[in-house]
């Protein structure tokens, strides 16, 4: 060990190091963006460019089997003038809002339970709670069709028991069926952000609140709930936004009364074959989502500021 | 029993009951699919008629099922490898370098998590048709990449953030270049995340319907095949059988992924 | 480029480092000799860790150049540098056992398995952890991790070992033991150690020389005794140990002796040294608490000043006294060894006398 004259192999800088690698060594930022560039490229080509084309197309009109590419706002005018479009938009927002509220209300106690009362196998609980979310959305909705159907699980079960004589028709093909299914489908996803923000709460704060005279209910209202607000807001955001554009659930379970804006967009690209109209409706949906997203961002900021 | 947990952590019986009911309700609707897939009746209703596995045999003999299964597997494997690969690069870039604009970059990448799939689906469809690209499994794979990449990055990012950055510096200090440092230090430490990302993105792609709906050409993926069959009530039992298999495999893959990637994977 | 100093093994020349607009290092130049135990001492944010990381290659200087063994380093990435580092967190690879951690850097040397095994065993003996080769990283205590981090770096026979606050995470007793071992280890291997710490006692105990840093600059580089006994400016004097400061004005110059009028001390004399100074120049005068003597009666010889004992703290082997003197806002601190048994410490304010030797006074440069 005392022989310090022995140079380690690492002692000599490689003469072969190219200019490029030297540049990358000197500039960490270029290395960082270099690693990120494939992802950014894919996201740009897969999201930004298509949405731009969609925006352009929304100002075109259909002409036979092709497009009239003269710039016009006709589609937008039509979307706001004819009641059917805005009615479906309103119904989409209404259905998502109820689905969001019921999901958050039902999932919050679950997140609370795992965050505060599960001490062993916490990970197991989290995996169990979120597992269904990762599996086929289509199949989960299909499962609800089986449950709620005219001759489905509930109706045939109730009839078999003699509780009802004829199938309950409101179960299937109604906005309620859509709300129930959406709630169930997104519950697993809603738990995660709420669990994370509940888990982050310093337990000594709760002990302090108790020490200062709060019982369990006041402690919850004054400490736990406000501190977990960011989680509640982001859970609402993560459910509300994607569900407004959903079309599988209304298509399978909504019936004519449960149709949503997503179905209409899909129709424009399918049976109706009016792509420019579909593009306009997509853009309108995006604008709605963006404005609601901004409200959520603002609320999150407000909640965060109150906490820290 | 009285003093073994602190006041705050004392068990809450009603909440516990609620939690168990919640889990049961979460899983019950899905469990009706396998239940009825073994029912000896083409009607999906109570009372159950009798046990049969004929619907599974029927599936076995359908060429269309095998075709769409292979299509889904092909797309799933390509997408999971590509999105995990890109995800590793991105997660490394986002954790190792103090990049200006990091929050907006993450926000941008995570967009497909919140924006309804139908918007990106139709947008891609419009772009591809304007470019004259014919719809095929390749276009489905592109759509799935956009859906899966945010999940891959969201899975990998905590892994990359979770370990002490100085162990990579230590490796460089001990004479390893970036390539060897990645394989000798970074990869072994983040590999649970990589496995989870592979399994998760495969499952998501395998189950994905919306992008496939807009972007597939003449070769359907498995969910597209199921969607097509839903119109025919007489096909219900075999679709139930197929769904049961898909659900079982999905649950298994995701469970394995999540379990490997659990927080205490490296006995802390 | 200027040639490096011939004796200097590491030569840091006019190095600046900016992080965006923030300047972490401000024109630092210093030389570190071969086989020296050199410490960078300063509070957090003073730039000491940045300087160390520039030696290791994890940061590149914005301006200036660092030479190690005569070679300019700014184009050389960390994995080609003849230096190795012990990280603050130790950076033990969590997925490898102790043996594989220590052998990590040997890959490029293409040694036989046996040879590697022997080298690792040799290192395990050196760090006094034989039999620990098969332990997992998470089964190790803080002290053990620290030793393994040392072994992992030393097995590569670096020209310089860089240590980033390696003892910071250990408890007091273990830290003192590791200080002794570290010093002994450095003598054994004989290579240059560059050691970063915020603990002045640790720096004094271990180092051949210390550079005291603040705000990205070096305030003073000196031996431990030099820094403690002859600090050049107020910041160094205050950072290392406790110090009493007095404002002073030159009264007259008598050959090599300088007579000053010090606020709170009266007329004092000290050696002039290299300074050129005239009557009326202002200086700051400093004296260590333990170099003041305290007594109840007026001493018969030497310079002295009368004051009021405001506060006394009994610390067992020694006592600290705080004495208010005229013309000083803060009480003067005095530290005296309790050579006789203390029956009861007198807490009441009463008159005391302070005396000192002339050569205990330090004249600071930045008045």
pLDDT of residue A19: 67
Confidence of residue A27 (pLDDT cuts 50, 70, 90): confident
pLDDT tens-digit readout, A12-22 = 444 445 666 66
C299 or B79, which is more confident: B79
The answer to whether residue A33 sits within a structural domain is: no
Q: C262: which residues sit within 8 A by CB, 6+ positions away?
A: C246, C247, C248, C268, C285
Interface of B with C in 156-215 (CB under 8 A): 163-164, 166-167, 169-177, 180-181, 184-185, 188-189
pLDDT tens-digit readout, B165-224 = 889 889 999 989 888 999 999 999 898 899 999 999 999 999 899 999 999 988 999 999
pLDDT of residue A14: 45
Lowest-confidence region among A55-59, B36-40, B198-202: B36-40
CATH number of the CATH domain containing A283 = 1.10.3720.10
Establish if B40 touches chain C: CB-CB under 8 angstroms. no
Determine the residue of chain A that is closest to C20 in CA distance: A29
Residues A201-226 have a mean pLDDT of 83
Residues C105-127 have a mean pLDDT of 90
Asked if pLDDT for residue A104 goes beyond 60, the answer is: yes
Distances (CA, A) of C269 to B179, C242, C256, C285, C332: 66, 22, 10, 11, 19
Token pair belonging to C222: 């000196």
pLDDT of residue A21: 67
Q: A27: which residues sit within 8 A by CB, 6+ positions away?
A: none
- For C336, the 3-state DSSP assignment is strand
Q: B112: which residues sit within 8 A by CB, 6+ positions away?
A: A47, B120, B146, B147, B149, B150
Which residue do the tokens 């200027």 mark?
C2
pLDDT of residue B5: 60
Phi-psi region of B131 (alpha: psi -120 to 50; beta: other; left: phi over 0): alpha
pLDDT of residue B212: 93
Determine the residue of chain C that is closest to B192 in CA distance: C95
What interface predicted TM-score (ipTM) does this complex get? Answer: 0.85
Q: A268: which residues sit within 8 A by CB, 6+ positions away?
A: A274, A275, A277, A278, A281
Under 8 Å CB pairs connecting chains A and B tally to: 261
pLDDT of residue A253: 87
Q: What are the chain A neighbours of B264 within 8 Å (beta carbons)? A: 123
End-to-end CA distance of chain A: 54
Residues C230-238 have a mean pLDDT of 90
Look up residue C308 and give its DSSP letter. E
Of C75, C79, C126, the CB nearest to A1: C126
- For C342, the 3-state DSSP assignment is coil
Confidence of residue B48 (pLDDT cuts 50, 70, 90): confident
| A205: containing domain | 82-307
Q: What are the chain C neighbours of A4 within 8 Å (beta carbons)? A: 35, 157, 159, 189-191
Q: Select from C58, C121, C119 the least CA-distant residue to C88.
A: C58
The answer to whether residue A58 sits within a structural domain is: no
Which class is C244-364 in CATH? Answer: mainly beta
Look up residue A87 and give its DSSP letter. H
CB contact under 8 A, A8 and C81: no
Confidence of residue B31 (pLDDT cuts 50, 70, 90): confident
Yes or no: domain B62-260 corresponds to CATH 2.60.40.1180: no
Q: How far apart are CA A288 and CA B133, in angstroms?
A: 31
Round the CA-based radius of gyration of chain B to a whole number and report it. Answer: 23
Is omega for the bond preceding B47 within 30 degrees of 0, making it cis?
yes
pLDDT of residue C2: 41
Establish if A256 touches chain C: CB-CB under 8 angstroms. no
Q: Please, where in chain C does CATH 2.40.50.100 lie?
A: 244-364
pLDDT of residue A5: 37
Q: How far apart are CA A212 and CA C303, in angstroms?
A: 61
CA angle A153, A155, A161 (to 5 degrees): 100
The CATH code belonging to domain C8-238 is 3.40.50.300
End-to-end CA distance of chain B: 28
Round the CA-based radius of gyration of chain C to a whole number and report it. Answer: 25
Of B43, B254, B258, the CB nearest to A151: B43
Lowest-confidence region among A41-55, A151-165, B4-18: B4-18
Q: How many domains does chain A have?
A: 1
pLDDT of residue C52: 94
The answer to whether residue A14 sits within a structural domain is: no
Q: C355: which residues sit within 8 A by CB, 6+ positions away?
A: C292, C293, C295, C299, C302, C303, C304
Q: Report the half-sphere exposure of A222 (CA within 13 A, side-chain side).
A: 14
- H-run or E-run covering C179: helix C172-189
Residues C48-71 have a mean pLDDT of 92
CA C256 to chain centre: 31
Average pLDDT, chain C: 88
Of A8, A12, A25, the CB nearest to C157: A8
pLDDT of residue C281: 83
Q: Please, where in chain C does CATH 3.40.50.300 lie?
A: 8-238
Confidence of residue C345 (pLDDT cuts 50, 70, 90): low
CB contact under 8 A, B96 and A188: no
Of C108, C126, C190, the CB nearest to A4: C190
Look up residue C138 and give its DSSP letter. G
Residues A96-105 have a mean pLDDT of 95
The answer to whether residue A67 sits within a structural domain is: no
Asked if pLDDT for residue B263 goes beyond 90, the answer is: no
Q: How far apart are CA C257 and CA B179, in angstroms?
A: 66
Confidence of residue C1 (pLDDT cuts 50, 70, 90): very low
């Amino acid at each position: 060990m005392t022989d310090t004259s022995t140079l380690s192999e690492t002692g000599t800088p490689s003469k072969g190091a190219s200019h490029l690698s030297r540049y990358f060594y000197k500039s960490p930022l270029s290395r960082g963006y270099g690693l990120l560039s494939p992802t950014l490229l894919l996201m740009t080509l897969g999201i930004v460019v298509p949405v731009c084309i969609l925006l352009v197309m929304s100002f075109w009109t259909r002409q036979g089997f092709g497009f009239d590419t003269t710039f016009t706002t006709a589609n937008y005018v039509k979307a706001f003038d004819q009641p059917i479009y805005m009615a479906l938009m309103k119904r989409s927002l209404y259905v998502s809002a109820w689905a969001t509220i019921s999901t958050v209300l039902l999932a919050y106690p679950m997140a609370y339970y795992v965050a505060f009362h599960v001490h062993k196998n916490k990970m197991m609980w989290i995996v169990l709670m979120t597992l269904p979310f990762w599996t086929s959305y289509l199949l989960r909705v299909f499962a609800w069709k089986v449950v709620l159907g005219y001759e489905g699980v509930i109706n045939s079960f109730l009839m078999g028991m003699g509780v009802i004589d004829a199938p309950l028709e409101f179960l299937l093909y109604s906005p309620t069926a859509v709300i129930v299914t959406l709630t169930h489908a997104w519950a697993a996803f809603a738990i995660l952000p709420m669990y994370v923000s509940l888990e982050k709460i310093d337990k000594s704060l709760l002990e302090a609140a108790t020490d200062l005279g709060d019982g369990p209910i006041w402690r919850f209202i004054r400490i736990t709930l406000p501190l977990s607000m960011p989680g509640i807001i982001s859970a609402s955001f993560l459910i509300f936004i994607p569900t407004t554009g959903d079309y599988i659930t209304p298509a399978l379970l909504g019936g004519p009364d449960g149709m949503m804006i997503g179905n209409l967009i899909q129709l424009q690209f399918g049976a109706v074959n009016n792509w420019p109209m579909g593009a306009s409706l997509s853009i309108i949906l995006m604008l709605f989502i963006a404005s609601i997203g901004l409200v959520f961002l603002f609320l999150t900021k407000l909640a965060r500021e109150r906490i820290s | 029993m009285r003093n073994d947990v602190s006041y705050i952590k004392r068990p809450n019986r009603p909440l516990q009951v609620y939690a168990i009911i919640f889990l049961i309700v979460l899983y019950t609707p899905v469990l009706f699919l396998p239940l009825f897939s073994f029912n000896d009746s083409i009607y999906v209703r109570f009372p159950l008629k009798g046990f049969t596995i004929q619907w599974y045999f029927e599936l076995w003999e359908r060429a269309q099922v095998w075709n769409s299964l292979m299509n889904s597997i092909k797309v799933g494997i390509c997408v999971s490898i590509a999105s995990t690969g890109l995800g590793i690069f991105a997660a490394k870039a986002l954790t190792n370098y103090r990049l200006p604009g990091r929050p907006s970059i993450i926000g941008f990448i995570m967009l497909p998590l919140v924006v309804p799939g139908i918007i990106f689906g139709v947008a891609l469809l419009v772009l591809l048709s304007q470019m004259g690209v014919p719809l095929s499994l390749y276009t489905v794979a592109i759509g799935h990449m956009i859906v899966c990449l945010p999940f891959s990055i969201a899975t990998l990012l905590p892994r990359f953030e979770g370990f002490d950055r100085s162990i990579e510096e230590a490796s460089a200090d001990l004479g390893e270049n970036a390539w060897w440092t990645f394989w000798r230090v970074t990869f072994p430490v983040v590999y649970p995340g990589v496995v989870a990302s592979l399994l998760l993105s495969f499952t998501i792609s395998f189950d994905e319907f919306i992008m496939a709906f807009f972007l597939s050409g003449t070769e359907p993926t498995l969910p597209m095949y199921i969607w097509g069959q839903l119109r025919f009530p007489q096909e219900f039992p075999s679709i139930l059988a197929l769904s049961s298999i898909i659900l079982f495999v999905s649950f298994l893959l995701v469970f394995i992924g999540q379990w490997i990637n659990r927080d205490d994977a490296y006995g802390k | 480029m200027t040639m490096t100093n011939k004796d200097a093994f590491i030569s840091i020349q006019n190095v600046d480092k900016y992080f965006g607009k923030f300047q972490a290092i401000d024109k630092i130049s210093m030389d570190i000799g071969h086989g020296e135990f050199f410490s960078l001492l300063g509070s957090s944010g003073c730039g000491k860790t940045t300087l160390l990381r520039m030696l290791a290659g994890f940061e590149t200087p914005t301006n200036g150049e660092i030479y190690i063994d005569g070679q300019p380093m700014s184009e050389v990435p960390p994995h080609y540098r003849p230096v190795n580092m012990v990280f603050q967190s130790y950076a033990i690879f969590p997925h490898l056992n102790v043996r594989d951690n220590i052998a990590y850097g040997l890959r490029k040397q293409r040694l036989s398995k046996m040879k590697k095994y022997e080298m690792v065993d040799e290192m395990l003996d050196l760090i006094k952890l034989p039999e620990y080769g098969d332990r997992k990283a998470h089964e190790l205590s803080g002290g053990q991790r620290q030793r393994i981090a040392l072994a992992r770096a030393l097995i590569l026979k670096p020209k310089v070992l860089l240590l980033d606050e390696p003892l910071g995470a250990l408890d007091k007793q273990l830290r003192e033991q590791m200080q002794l071992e570290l010093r002994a280890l450095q003598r054994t291997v004989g290579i240059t150690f560059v050691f970063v710490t915020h603990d002045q006692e640790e720096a004094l105990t271990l180092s051949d020389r210390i550079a005291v840093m603040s705000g990205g600059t070096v305030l003073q580089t000196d031996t431990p005794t030099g820094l403690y006994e002859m600090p050049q400016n107020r910041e160094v004097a205050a950072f290392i140990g406790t110090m009493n400061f007095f404002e002073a004005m030159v009264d007259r110059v008598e050959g090599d002796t300088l007579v000053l009028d010090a606020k709170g001390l009266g007329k004092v004399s000290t050696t002039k040294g290299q300074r050129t100074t005239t009557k009326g120049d202002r200086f700051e005068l400093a004296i260590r608490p333990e170099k003041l003597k305290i007594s109840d009666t007026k001493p018969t010889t030497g310079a002295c000043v009368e004051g009021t004992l405001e506060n006394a703290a009994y610390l067992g082997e020694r006592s600290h006294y705080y004495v208010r003197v005229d013309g000083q806002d803060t009480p003067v601190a005095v530290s005296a060894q309790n050579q006789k048994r203390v029956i009861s410490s007198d807490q009441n304010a009463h008159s005391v006398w302070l005396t000192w030797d002339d050569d205990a006074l330090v004249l600071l440069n930045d008045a």
